[in-house]
Amino acid sequence: MANNSILIVDDDKNIVDLVQTYLRKDDYRVLAAYDGLQALELARQRRPDLIILDLMLPDMDGLDVCRVLRAEGHNMPIIMLTAKTTEEDKLIGLDLGADDYVTKPFSPRELVARIRAALRRVGEQQRQGPSVIHSGDLEVDFVRHETRVRGMLASLTPKEFKLLEVLIKEPGRAFSRLDLLDRVFGFDYEGLERTVDVHVMNLRRKIEPDASRPTYVQTVYGVGYKFTEEQDVP
């Protein structure tokens, strides 16, 4: 895990210096940006392995930085760092493609632990190797990180793609919302189970022939959700 590159983005130099000190102790390579436009430029040019991204930034806020990077296909983990603590704030960040959410004031040691966990999940995904799954009109390419519906590219957010990946790799298995929170979003999302429902709704809108009568991602009442291959649906 050592030698991964981490981009820290915060307009508070004291926070940047503090996090940088802890990361360098663990042999991470550290980049720093103090506003949104600088962060975007560094992310594009240097392609860090992970970004720690403050929500409130000069020039361009963290949500917009996250939105642009995901739209451009950058899939590195993004950990939002912010003083905002409402559930709605968290849901917005996660829906835009953030992988984790740390509120200020925070423990630098906890932040480093979350960085390790996020990078470990990326490593586990990469070790799974090339894989493409076809089901009905769906094609999911885990190497290209692409989903196609009837041959047309579906624009999924990273979290929507991960949700689909978890479900489609174990068709027929009923996953609880807590299972999906753990597998898709990582740990420490207590109280945010409804974010799964939001992501399922958005995913259905993009991949289902009729989102109001889902074919692939089906609700298991009292449990959660499962993926059912189209040919298996009566």
| 47, 74 contact by CB (below 8 A) | yes
pTM of the entire structure?
A: 0.60
Is residue 29 located within the same domain as residue 65?
yes
pLDDT given for residue 1 in this prediction: 45
Taking only the tens place, the pLDDT of each residue in 126-147 is 665 447 888 888 999 887 788 9
The contacts of residue 195 (CB under 8 Å, 6+ apart) are 90, 91, 94, 95, 181, 185, 189
**Cα atoms in the Cβ-side hemisphere of radius 13 Å centred on 47:** 4
pLDDT tens track for 53-91: 998 898 899 999 998 998 887 888 999 988 766 667 677
Q: Which domain holds residue 187?
A: 132-232
Q: Which of 67, 100, 127 is the last residue of a domain?
A: 127
Residue 133 CA to residue 142 CA, distance in Å, equals 8
Do both 98 and 159 map to the same domain? Answer: no
The model's confidence at residue 2, banded by pLDDT at 50, 70 and 90, is: low
- Residue 90 and residue 153 in one domain: no
Pairing of strands 224-227, 29-33: unpaired
